[in-house]
């Protein structure tokens, strides 16, 4: 079987696609794996916030078109970039074992968030990160930051920011972990749903592919990902909403925590729920319902209005 992988052209996306390719090449059913690098609107439009141009789905639309047109068989994504509601005709066929889930503090001059002086400039375009940064340090000046990992690091080195916040997993995958000054504990900064998880997408009707790709599925990560994405889906949150969620499994029990906040950090709701790991999606829906009862819907409406 030949598998063609649609991927973005960034260094991190190519690393992730090649990582999946290596895993696929180890399977008896696979003869050849090829990468099909594509440019996406999300990569091309860097002068406006993702929320303004349509959300992180812009990073995967072109890859899905390539699959629909028969130019690629699968697409490889950072699962935190994949909308909670999959487009009709597509599915996530497998998720690999989760890498580092944490957000990382990166700075040329300061060792931690606490070490930043008052009114320091911190780069992040994520409303989730902005909200939690402001909850910890309301004095900071949070400024937009777009581009791939190396572009963001270059802007930091140029002195545009005193610090930036990046996903630890991305830095580690690119061999750039030396830039990490501090990793945030989940008590400080909850990650995005499925942060650190690589997912493989294909057409839902490709049963031949799905059976092969399923061999790469990591069972525990599949459950934590299902729980976290169920929170986002039930809250009707998009990839840029100020929503954070993180699940862990110990034995046969799943512990899930979620946060909804205003981007300015002035209001937030946080709650947790535990249950059988086999009920991951249900636990996610229940936790989201609890947050909605507490007013999460109103916070998300306010956040959307403020950004719009």
Q: Whole-angstrom Cα distance, residue 150 to residue 148?
A: 6
> Which candidate, 206, 248, 232, places its Cα nearest to that of 296?
232
Cβ(283)–Cβ(227) below 8 Å: yes
Is pLDDT above 80 for 307? no
H-type alpha helices, the chain? 11-25, 41-44, 50-53, 61-68, 127-136, 149-157, 168-173, 207-213, 219-235, 280-293, 296-307
Q: Whole-angstrom Cα distance, residue 308 to residue 306?
A: 6
Cβ(60)–Cβ(39) below 8 Å: no
Domains and CATH numbers, the chain: 2-96+197-217 (3.40.190.10), 103-183 (3.40.190.10), 234-307 (3.30.160.40)
Least confident of 16-25, 55-64, 287-296: 55-64
pLDDT range class, residue 171, cuts 50, 70, 90: very high
Average pLDDT in the 11-23 region?
97
More confident residue, 181 or 307: 181
> Which candidate, 243, 238, 235, places its Cα nearest to that of 293?
235
Side-chain-facing half-sphere of 124: CA atoms under 13 Å: 28
What's the whole-number average pLDDT of the chain? Answer: 93
Q: Whole-angstrom Cα distance, residue 112 to residue 289?
A: 35
User: CB-based contacts of 296: which residues, under 8 Å, 6+ apart?
Assistant: 235, 260, 269, 288
**The pLDDT of residue 53:** 44
What are the residue numbers of the active site?
A: 81
pTM: 0.92
Is pLDDT above 90 for 58? no
DSSP character for 88? T
Least confident of 57-61, 201-205, 221-225, 295-299: 57-61
pLDDT range class, residue 146, cuts 50, 70, 90: confident
Output the six-digit token pair for 32: 């050849």
Least confident of 4-18, 48-62, 140-154, 241-255: 48-62
Is pLDDT above 70 for 46? no
pLDDT range class, residue 290, cuts 50, 70, 90: very high
Output the six-digit token pair for 284: 């996610």
Note the pLDDT tens digit of each residue in 112-126.
999 999 999 999 999
Average pLDDT in the 160-175 region?
97
Is pLDDT above 80 for 184? yes
């Amino acid at each position: 079987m030949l598998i063609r992988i649609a991927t973005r052209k960034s260094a991190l996306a190519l690393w992730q696609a090649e990582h999946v390719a290596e895993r696929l090449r180890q399977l008896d059913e696979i003869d050849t794996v090829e990468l099909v690098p594509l440019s996406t609107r999300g990569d091309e439009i860097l002068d406006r916030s993702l929320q303004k141009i349509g959300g992180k789905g812009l990073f995967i639309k072109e890859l899905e078109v390539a699959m629909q047109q028969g130019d690629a068989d699968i697409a490889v994504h950072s699962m935190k970039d994949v909308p909670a509601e999959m487009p009709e005709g597509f599915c996530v066929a497998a998720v690999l074992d989760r890498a580092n889930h944490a957000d990382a503090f990166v700075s040329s001059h300061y060792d931690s968030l606490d070490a930043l002086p008052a009114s320091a400039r911190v780069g992040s375009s994520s409303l989730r990160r902005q909200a939690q940064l402001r909850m910890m340090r309301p004095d900071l000046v949070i400024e937009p930051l777009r581009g791939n990992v190396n572009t963001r690091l270059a802007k930091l080195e140029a002195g545009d920011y005193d610090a930036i916040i990046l996903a630890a997993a991305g830095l580690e995958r690119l061999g750039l972990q030396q830039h990490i000054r501090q990793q945030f504990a989940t008590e400080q900064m909850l990650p995005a749903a499925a942060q650190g998880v690589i997912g493989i997408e294909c057409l839902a009707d490709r049963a031949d592919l799905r059976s092969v790709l399923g061999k790469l599925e990591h069972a525990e990560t599949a459950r934590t990902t299902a729980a976290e994405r169920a929170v986002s889906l039930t809250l009707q949150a998009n990839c840029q909403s100020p929503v954070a969620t993180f699940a862990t499994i110990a034995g046969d029990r799943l512990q899930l925590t979620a946060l909804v906040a205003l981007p300015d950090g002035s209001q937030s709701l946080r709650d947790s729920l535990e249950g059988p790991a086999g009920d991951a999606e249900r636990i996610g829906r229940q936790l989201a319902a609890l947050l909605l009862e507490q007013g999460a819907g109103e916070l998300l409406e306010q956040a959307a209005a403020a950004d719009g």
